[in-house]
Amino acid sequence: MSSIGSSVSGGEVTGVLVTGAVVAVGGALVVGALVTGALVIGALVSGALSLAHSLSALVFLEHLFLAHSLLEHSLLAFVFLERLFPVLMLLARRWQELEYQQE
């Protein structure tokens, strides 16, 4: 009796793992963009409300700085993921070519 795992080649498993990594990175980019957008909008709204309630202009500037910091750090993360995404796509393509050559 053969097991299910024996019918799957190592190349197929690796291809699935690389494809999963590509999907995960793409999903991280989308979710990160949504979360960052929400955080920045929240910081700006909070700062505007503090200014409207005449707490102080300094509080508003602190919120603007927070929004700027969030954008700056998220952009660095996006650049890293953006650089990683093509590498993962290339790996997925190579594994697909290797599987095709083996067949």
Please give the radius of gyration of the chain, using alpha carbons only, rounded to the nearest integer.
Answer: 23
* pLDDT at position 2: 47
Q: How far apart are CA 92 and CA 90, in angstroms?
A: 5
Q: What is the mean pLDDT of residues 57-76?
A: 73
Q: How far apart are CA 16 and CA 85, in angstroms?
A: 16
pTM of the entire predicted model: 0.44
Residue-wise pLDDT tens digits, 10-54: 666 666 777 777 777 777 777 777 777 777 777 777 767 766 666
* pLDDT at position 1: 45
Q: How far apart are CA 30 and CA 81, in angstroms?
A: 11
* pLDDT at position 64: 72
